[in-house]
Structure formats: C-alpha cells, structure tokens
A and B are shown apart, each in its own frame.
Chain A
Amino acid sequence: MKNNTNLLNELTKGIWKENPIFVISLGLCPTIAVTSSMTNAIGMGLASMFVLVCSNLIISLIRNIVPNAVRIPSFIVVIATFVTILDKLVQAYMPALSASLGIFIPLIVVNCIILGRAEAFACKNSPIASIFDGIGMGLGFTIALSLIAFFRELLGDGALLGYKIPFFADAPALIMIMPPGGFIVFGLLIALKRNYDLKGKFTK
C-alpha cells in the first residue's frame, strides 16, 4: 500500500510540485523555441516524454553496473539512441508531425530534463519508480509547454492549434510568438505559480 502511494507520488510530483519547467527550470531552450504554437508544444512534450520514459528505464536498469567514470557518457549514448530511434519512427510513420517538429526532435538529446532525471532520479531508483518518474515529468513538461504555447499562440498569432480565433486574430501582438514573448509568458506563469504556492506562508 505504502509502495503504491510512493509510485503515485513519483507520477504526480512532475506535474505540480517539481514541474520540470516551472520549478526545476530545466530544458528552457526547447521551451522557448517550440511554444510559439500549441501543436508544436504538445508534439514536443509527448516526444520528450517518450524519450524520458525509455531512457529512465534503461538507465535505472544499468545503474548498478555503470562505472562512475563513464556514467554521463553512457547516459548520453542511451538518450541519443532513443532520440534517433524516435526521429526515424516519426519520419516514417507520422509525416505530418515530422513536418512541423522535424528540426526540434534531434534537439531532445540536449534537453537537460532527460539527463537531469537520469542523474537525479533514474540512477538511484528502481526501474518501476523511474518509469513513473519519466511519465510524470513528461506530463509536467507537456502541460507546461502547452500552457505557455496557449498564451503565446492566442496573443501572438490570434489562433489556437492553428485555428484562427475571432477577436484575437484581428490584431495579434507579434512579439508574443518571438523569443521575447516566450520569456515574458514564462516569467509571468512562474510568478503566478510561486504566488499560489507561497500563499499564506508569510502571513504575520
């Protein structure tokens, strides 16, 4: 029973308490790059989740036999392998996604969340817990990306998921889909979340 609540905790912590973007602040480069449209954000989030779950599992399995001196190179090889496999699979079987995400998928290799979770979690925990950690972190990443993209696409392009939204489409604020807009939305969302988390903690 206790074990089950632990697993559930590994799953949910990535979504709110230890959200990879809003709390741990890892993987911000792809965050700013892909959140100019919701389609890209969701695709990137799910693709990262796939790699995260696979790499967490394998790294957890080899955690007791990997020599410390080559720990990180080994992890990178594992991650890069899964990213390349994913890239090929998407190209072959999901051409529509490949067309819009094509240039971002190889970049998952250098997404710090993947290596971060390998180092901070998977190399110290059991394979099952690591899978749950991967799913949770992947979900948290996807939700955070979609949320940022929601505001950026709506305000900067007057659209959501590529469909024009009346009123917003009349005079979109282009800056929102350019990098500065990414930082602005990202900063405001972090501030909002912190404000919510700290509410009541500093009352006299």
Chain B
Amino acid sequence: MPKQMLKTALFLFIVSSVSGLLLALTEQITAPAIIAINEKIEMQARSQVLPQAKTFKTENQLTIGYKEDNSLAGFVIAVKPKGYAAELNMLVGLNLNGKITGTKILAHSETPGLGAKITGEEFHNKFMKSIEKNEKPNFKVTKDGGDIDAITAATITSRAFCDGINEAKKIYDENALKFITSAGGKS
C-alpha cells in the first residue's frame, strides 16, 4: 500500500513540476512582449483622447499632455467607474478649458453585444457630438434627465460611463486647474 501511495505522489509531483517549468518558461518569453504591447496600447489611447498632445508625463492622478513646443495641451485622467459586471477602466482627455477631447475604454467586462458597445465608435461619436453643441452638458443619461443618450438596453453601462466623466471632471477641477495656474506663465 505505502509503495502505491508513494508512486502516486511521485507522479503528481512530476506532472506539477513539468507544468510549473513550462509555465515559468512561457512567462519568461511572453512577459516583455505583453508589457510592450500594454505600453503601446496605453500610448495610443492617450493620443486618441488628447490628440493635440505629442508627449505625456504622469503625475499623481493626472497625465499631462504637452504639445510639440512643450506648452500645455491638456490632461488625460484615468477613472474606474463601476459598470454592470465590473469596473470600466477608462481614460478621459480634457483640454485647458476643461472641455472633453475624447474618451476611451481600456478594459471592461460588460455584456458582449449590449454594454460592450460602450467601446464602439458609434457610441463615442454620438457622445462627442452631443457635448460639442452643448456649452455645459449635463453628464447623465437622458433617462436621468441628462444630455447623454444611453446605449439601448445598456443603461447601467451608460450610467457608469457618465459617472466616469463626472469623476474625471472632479479630478480635473481639483488638480488640473491648480496645475494650469502654477504653469500659467509658461504657456
């Protein structure tokens, strides 16, 4: 009996060791590529939400975007509002006047085909259009009396999106304004 047990334990030990070895190897090979890709995605996303900026510098909650001549272009703020399934990981770009220049959802777990449309161009274009003509848009879905058209059958996701915008505006008001006045002379 004990011999049988030993054999069983030994087998499991070997299987797990080989598995562990393979996983460590894969991690070694893929980790740099994964980091590089995530950095690239982040860089692209920043340029997307704040097209005027050429270079970025991160400071606390703010990512500051600079134009080619090193003058201030605006800010990129990362927020994580609570969506339908989990947090939405989103970026909001704002210019020096506090106007939104773009948004981007980096990661989410919303329902495919419904809430997942929050990442689509259609929603984003509609959103940008609705704030373009509006001087002081109310960042709430129309159902809650705001100015933002929700995605059909995905009100909770759309609400989360608005929460994210409002949070980004709040962070902007608290931090970015200070930053602009302190750097005021430069630009």
B179 CB–A CB distance under 8 Å: no
With A and B bound together, what is the CA distance between A69 and B8 in angstroms? 7
A67: which of B11, B16, B22 is its contact (CB, 8 Å)?
A: B11
Task: Count A interface residues, CB 8 Å.
Answer: 31
Q: Which chain A residues (161-186) contact chain B, with CB distance < 8 Å? A: 174, 177-178
- The tally of residues in B whose CB lies under 8 Å from a CB in A reads 25
A40 at the interface (CB under 8 A from B): yes
A88 proximal to B (CB < 8 A): yes
State which of A85, A156, A177 has its C-beta within 8 Å of the C-beta of B23.
A85
* Cα A156 to Cα B114 with chains together (Å): 10
User: Which of A91-99, A121-129, A134-142, A187-195 has 4 or more CB atoms under 8 Å from chain B?
Assistant: A91-99
Among B94-102, B105-113, B135-143, B170-178, the stretch that binds chain A is B105-113
Tell me, in angstroms, the Cα distance from A98 to B4 when the chains sit together.
44
Render A58-93 as a binary contact track against B, CB cut-off 8 A, 1 for contact.
000010011101100110011011001100110111
Q: How far is the CA of A93 from the CA of B34 in the complex (A)?
A: 8
Q: How far is the CA of A91 from the CA of B15 in the complex (A)?
A: 25
Given A78-B15, A81-B22, A85-B23, the answer on whether A67 and B112 have CB atoms closer than 8 Å is no
Stretch at the interface among B25-33, B58-66, B74-82, B124-132: B25-33
A36 to B22, CA, bound (A): 34
User: Contact between A85 and B26 (Cβ–Cβ < 8 Å)?
Assistant: yes
Cβ-Cβ contact count across A and B, 8 Å cutoff: 67
Q: A103 interface residue, CB < 8 Å from B?
A: yes
Question: What are 30 A-B contacts defined by CB distance under 8 Å?
Answer: A36-B112, A40-B112, A65-B11, A66-B11, A67-B7, A67-B11, A69-B8, A70-B11, A74-B11, A74-B12, A74-B15, A77-B16, A80-B19, A84-B26, A88-B26, A89-B26, A89-B30, A91-B37, A92-B33, A92-B34, A92-B37, A93-B30, A95-B37, A153-B113, A157-B113, A174-B152, A177-B112, A177-B113, A177-B114, A178-B114
Q: Could you list 16 further interchain pairs (A-B, Cβ under 8 angstroms) beyond the known A77-B15, A89-B26?
A: A36-B112, A67-B7, A69-B8, A70-B8, A74-B15, A85-B26, A88-B30, A91-B37, A92-B29, A92-B34, A95-B37, A153-B113, A157-B113, A174-B152, A177-B112, A178-B114
